[in-house]
């Protein structure tokens, strides 16, 4: 397979069909735009499995995704997308950069979910933008509105699904692109690398903050998320 692009957590390969790609989920972990590096044992296969399960929940809620099928233990076959150069963050509780930026304590629930846009640029360190900046980056305002609506639909589907499994969806990052027909689809991943997942009973962190903050126990936390997501729904 021909490598098209290697990112920090995934590798994209051209497949035989020009409209599809294979995506490999790596065990490598980075934080702080590559300043921290490490390996989380079996992260790739776990993130692949978590992403597949959660993208199916998202699809069932009417949001198109790039997912086609699983391949092996750490790949998916996906539709090739032309990626929109924005990271879309949805927040349900105060945490991370929102807590730092506004000088607020982590943990408080927000009255309504907040959607934020960041310009995807390693050089600039993915700066926070306002929607009016997007046209300067080649993304029109109609697309920005569509992304906001899709991101809120993803949140409305995932938050209750996860809470049923004892996980609070604190915040998460999504990336979207357009397929050959021009349809906007969710791409990238939905995993503990890109979401904050807190245990609903104890507030224990079950996500990449364990790595970012040197707490240890990353592999165990990711395995616990997968175990809860893959288990049949309690009471069902």
Positions in the binding site for ligand UDP (CB under 6 A): 89, 95-98, 126, 171-173, 194-196, 208
Count other Cβ atoms within 10 Å, centred on residue 72: 10
Q: Which is nearer to ligand UDP, 171 or 218 (CB)?
A: 171
Instruction: Tell me which residue has tokens 């900046």.
Output: 133
Residue 97: CB minimum distance to ligand UDP, A: 3
Q: Mark residue 32 as left, alpha or beta (left: phi above 0; alpha: psi -120 to 50; beta: remaining).
A: left
Cβ atoms of 135 and 112 closer than 8 Å:
no
Phi/psi at 185 (5° precision):
-125, 150
Q: Which is nearer to ligand UDP, 81 or 95 (CB)?
A: 95
Tell me how far the alpha carbon of residue 120 is from its chain's centroid: 14
Q: Which is nearer to ligand UDP, 78 or 169 (CB)?
A: 169
Q: Which is nearer to ligand UDP, 15 or 117 (CB)?
A: 117
Q: Which is nearer to ligand UDP, 84 or 95 (CB)?
A: 95
The first and second tokens of residue 113, run together, are 């979910």
**Residue 107: which of 94, 91, 90 has the closest Cα?**
94
Residue 143: CB minimum distance to ligand UDP, A: 20
Residue 16: CB minimum distance to ligand UDP, A: 31
Cβ atoms of 17 and 35 closer than 8 Å:
no
Q: Which is nearer to ligand UDP, 74 or 208 (CB)?
A: 208
Residue 212: CB minimum distance to ligand UDP, A: 7
Residue 172: CB minimum distance to ligand UDP, A: 5
Helix axis angle, 218-230 to 43-60, nearest 10°: 30
Cβ atoms of 34 and 8 closer than 8 Å:
yes
Residue 185: CB minimum distance to ligand UDP, A: 18
Residue nearest to ligand UDP (CB): 96
**Residue 31: which of 236, 228, 218, 230 has the closest Cα?**
218
């Amino acid at each position: 397979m021909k490598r098209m692009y290697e990112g920090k957590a995934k590798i994209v390969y051209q497949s035989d069909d020009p409209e599809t790609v294979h995506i490999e989920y790596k065990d490598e972990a980075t934080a702080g735009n590559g300043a921290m590096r490490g390996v989380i044992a079996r992260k790739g296969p776990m993130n692949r499995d978590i992403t597949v399960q959660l993208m199916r929940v998202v699809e069932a809620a009417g949001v198109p995704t790039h997912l086609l099928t699983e391949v092996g233990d750490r790949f998916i076959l996906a539709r090739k997308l032309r990626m929109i150069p924005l990271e879309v963050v949805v927040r349900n509780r105060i945490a991370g950069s929102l807590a730092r930026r506004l000088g607020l304590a982590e943990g408080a629930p927000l009255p309504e979910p907040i959607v934020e846009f960041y310009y995807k640029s390693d050089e600039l360190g993915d700066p926070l933008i306002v929607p009016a900046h997007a046209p300067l980056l080649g993304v029109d305002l109609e697309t920005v509105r569509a992304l906001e609506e899709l991101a809120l639909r993803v949140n409305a589907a995932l938050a209750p699904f996860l809470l049923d499994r004892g996980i609070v969806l604190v915040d998460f990052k999504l990336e979207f692109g357009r397929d050959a027909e021009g349809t906007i689809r969710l791409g990238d991943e939905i995993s503990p690398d890109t979401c904050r997942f807190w245990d609903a009973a104890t507030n224990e962190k079950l996500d990449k903050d364990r790595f970012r903050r040197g707490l240890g126990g990353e592999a165990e936390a990711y395995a616990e998320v997968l175990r809860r997501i893959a288990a049949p729904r309690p009471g069902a």
